[in-house]
Amino acid sequence: MLYVLDEPTIGLHARDNERLIGTLESLRDKGNTLLVVEHDDAVMERADLIIDLGPGAGVHGGQLIARGTPAALKKNPSSLTGIFLARGISHPTRGAYREVPGFKSQVPRKRPLAKSQAPNRPKLRTQNSNPIPRGLSSRAPAFAISALSI
């Protein structure tokens, strides 16, 4: 059986990633083939094989940059994925604020910026808004796997 998953970690809490990875490995161990499009480093670290396409996204990509195990990609200087797995990528403004050009902050100091409600209370909404589109259950799955046409 072939399973194709497109970014299955999107929307998952970090603690649920390990459960997902365990499920993927269990499917693999039963003789299934999994093709997973993913950007999460924990999933990539546990992959049997990574195919790194690039160098950019969309029309700026599509070329085979690297192919191999996570360890092999970490040693490949032309693979941004390998560099990311080996060293990580620091966030450029982590822990700091930056000025937005042409915008003067109007945020009052030491005053609440938002008001929240208890989780079980009805949510406020405008007259024509509906939180769940008509015809969908509130118990709809968090993600779905779309069909692959070959």
CA distance 47 to 22: 12
* Residue 137 vs residues 100, 121, 134, 140: alpha-carbon distances, Å: 41, 19, 8, 5
pLDDT tens, residue order, the chain (150 aa): 999 999 999 999 888 999 999 999 999 999 999 999 999 999 999 999 999 998 888 888 899 999 999 999 999 999 989 999 999 877 666 656 666 676 665 555 555 545 545 555 444 444 444 444 444 433 333 333 333 333
